[in-house]
Every structure is written in C-alpha cells, then in structure tokens.
C-alpha cells in the first residue's frame, strides 16, 4: 500500500478547500438501444472506458467549477489505478493521499445505457473497501484544514464515519451522501452531517416512506432532519430537489430547467459536486 507519490510541498503551500474521502471506479460502459431483460443477451453499438465513482465524480465536478480539491481514496496497483491517478492530476486534484494497493483491483462499474439515457449499474468496489482509518489519519492535516469534507458509502461505512468524525472535530463542514443507501444507517451519520444529500430512492430506504413527488420528498426530508442533520437535500432528478434545514424547516422545492437526457450516469454526483462548491463559497464569504 502506498500513496501516489505526489510531492507534499505543493499542497502544503495551498490548502485544499474541498477534501473528498470516497471512491474511484473505472467505468466500463456499453451503449445499447434498450436495457436487457434478465437472462437476455442484446447487441450494443458502442463501448468505452471512463472514470467514475461517487467520490471522484463529486471531487472532479467541484474542481472543474474552481474549487481547490484533494482526493483521499484507494485504487489498485494496476493499469486502471495508474490511469485513474493521472486523470485526477489532469483535473488539478491533489493525489497526495490517493493510495495504491496490491491487495485488490481498482474498483469497477459495469454500466449499460439505453437510447433514453437510462442506465443499470453493477459495481465491484475492490480497493475502495480497503481505504481505512489508518489512511485517514495520515491525511488528517488536509482534512482538518479544509472548508468542506465530503464522503459517501462506496467505501466502508466505518471509514466514512471516521472521516466525518475527524472533520467535525476540526470544525470542518461536512457533506454526506448516503449512497448506496443502508436501511439501518448508523445514527451518527445524521448528527455528523452538516449537509445530508440523498436522492428519492435513498430517502425511501432510509425513512421507509414512499417518495413519488416533491411533497413526499419534503416529508422524508423532515424525518431525516429530526435525526440530527443540519441541512437536508433530497434530489428528484428532472424535478429538481427539496431543501430544508434546522433554521428553515419548511420544505422548499427547487425545480430545474428541463433538458433532454443523453446519459444520466453520474448526474447526481455532479449535482452534489456543485453543491459542495456552493457550500464552500458560502463559507469563504463568512
């Protein structure tokens, strides 16, 4: 196990405002006219390999919008891992604490996208699950000096929980994305989250409520707010999102501009990456 080897001096001079503790996945994408049924083989018309993972997607989006970012993650000591580190660097993301391991392959996501932009995804987390608290402690200096720390659940819950704990202990604002959702999520995730951001299906799993409309999302968000979050955002795809907070507990529906979806893969991650930048800029103004 080793970090990527990026010189420390560069990133000691300019502290990352956004630190993401999360996943890197190599996307193996097949484009098809429609999604296959169980047991069915169909022809696709295009295949490509890309860079994904909820954590990395959010980090790249924040970086492309202008935030100084750092990625704390683990990839395999393999060609996918090497390519991923290079991709992060090309997006001006610090890889000082992007670790490589020989004990597991870089995480992968097998994705099928149909002509309407809908998808089905299977992930094999691989090296992501080997990111541990020891790795976080090595990165404690950048976590403690960030404006915002972001994490999800494509790494182990214990590691995400430790990252949130470290950040809050240092007075760093936290944004937590509970995906993939866990029905019996540790209650500490709620109290350690300044911003708790989930989509409608995740909200259903976490609350047991049906979320089929903005009004439903508001009810689910209230349940999550009562568990200790400071701000709750429930994203609704093309319908925008619902937002509420401890200081403004009345659910507010924020619609989005209608667009034609080409591929919805990772769109929620990009939305959350944008949210990170908004939170960061807000903190820098105060």
**Does 144 score more than 70 pLDDT?**
yes
Q: How far apart are CA 87 and CA 57, in angstroms?
A: 11
Binding residues for substrate: 25-27, 53-57, 154, 269
pLDDT tens readout for residues 88-98: 999 999 999 99
Residue 280: what pLDDT? 40
Residue 14: what pLDDT? 67
pLDDT tens readout for residues 151-163: 999 999 999 999 9
Q: What is the pTM of this model?
A: 0.84
126: left (phi over 0), alpha (psi -120 to 50) or beta: left
Residue 278: what pLDDT? 43
Residue 103 known to be catalytic = no
User: Which pLDDT band holds residue 220 (cuts at 50, 70, 90)?
Assistant: very high
**CA distances from residue 271 to 128, 133, 177, 238, 240 in whole angstroms, order as listed:** 22, 28, 11, 12, 10
Binding residues for K(+): 263, 265, 281
Pairing mode, strands 231-235 and 2-3: unpaired
pLDDT tens readout for residues 228-267: 999 999 999 889 999 999 999 999 999 987 655 554 444 4
Biggest CA pair distance of the chain: 56
Binding residues for ATP: 199, 235-240, 256
Mean pLDDT of the chain: 89
Q: What percentage of the chain reaches a pLDDT higher than 70?
A: 85
Higher-confidence residue of 38 and 283: namely 38
Binding residues: 25-27, 53-57, 154, 199, 235-240, 256, 263, 265, 269, 281
Catalytic residue chosen out of the listed positions 78, 135, 216, 269: 269
Stretch among 16-20, 52-56, 252-256 having the lowest mean pLDDT: 252-256
Give per-residue burial for 195-213: e unless 16+ CB within 10 Å, then b: bbbbbbebbbbbbebebee
């Amino acid at each position: 196990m080793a970090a990527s080897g990026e010189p420390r001096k560069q990133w000691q001079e300019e502290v990352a405002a956004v630190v993401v503790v999360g996943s890197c996945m190599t996307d193996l994408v097949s484009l098809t006219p429609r999604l296959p049924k169980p047991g069915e083989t169909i022809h696709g018309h295009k295949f490509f390999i890309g860079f994904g993972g909820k954590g990395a997607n959010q980090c790249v989006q924040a970086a492309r919008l202008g935030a100084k970012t750092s990625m704390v993650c683990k990839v395999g000591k393999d060609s996918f891992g090497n390519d991923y580190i290079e991709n992060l660097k090309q997006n001006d993301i610090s890889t000082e604490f992007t670790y490589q391991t020989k004990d597991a392959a870089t995480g992968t996501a097998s994705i099928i996208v149909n002509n309407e932009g809908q998808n089905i995804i299977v992930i094999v987390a691989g090296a992501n699950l080997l990111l541990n608290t020891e790795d976080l402690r090595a990165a404690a200096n950048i976590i403690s000096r960030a404006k915002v720390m972001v994490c999800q659940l494509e790494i182990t819950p214990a590691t995400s929980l430790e990252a949130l704990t470290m950040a809050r202990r240092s007075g760093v604002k936290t944004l937590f994305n509970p995906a993939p959702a866990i029905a019996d999520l540790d209650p500490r995730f709620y109290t350690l989250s300044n911003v708790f951001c989930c989509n409608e299906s995740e909200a259903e799993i976490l609350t047991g409520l049906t979320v089929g409309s903005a009004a439903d999302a508001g009810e689910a968000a209230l349940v999550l707010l009562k568990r200790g979050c400071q701000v709750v955002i429930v994203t609704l795809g093309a319908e925008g999102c619902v937002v509420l907070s401890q200081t403004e507990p009345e659910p507010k529906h924020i619609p989005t501009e209608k667009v034609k979806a080409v591929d919805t893969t990772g769109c929620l991650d990009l939305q959350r990456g944008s949210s990170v930048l908004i939170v960061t800029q807000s903190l820098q103004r105060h």
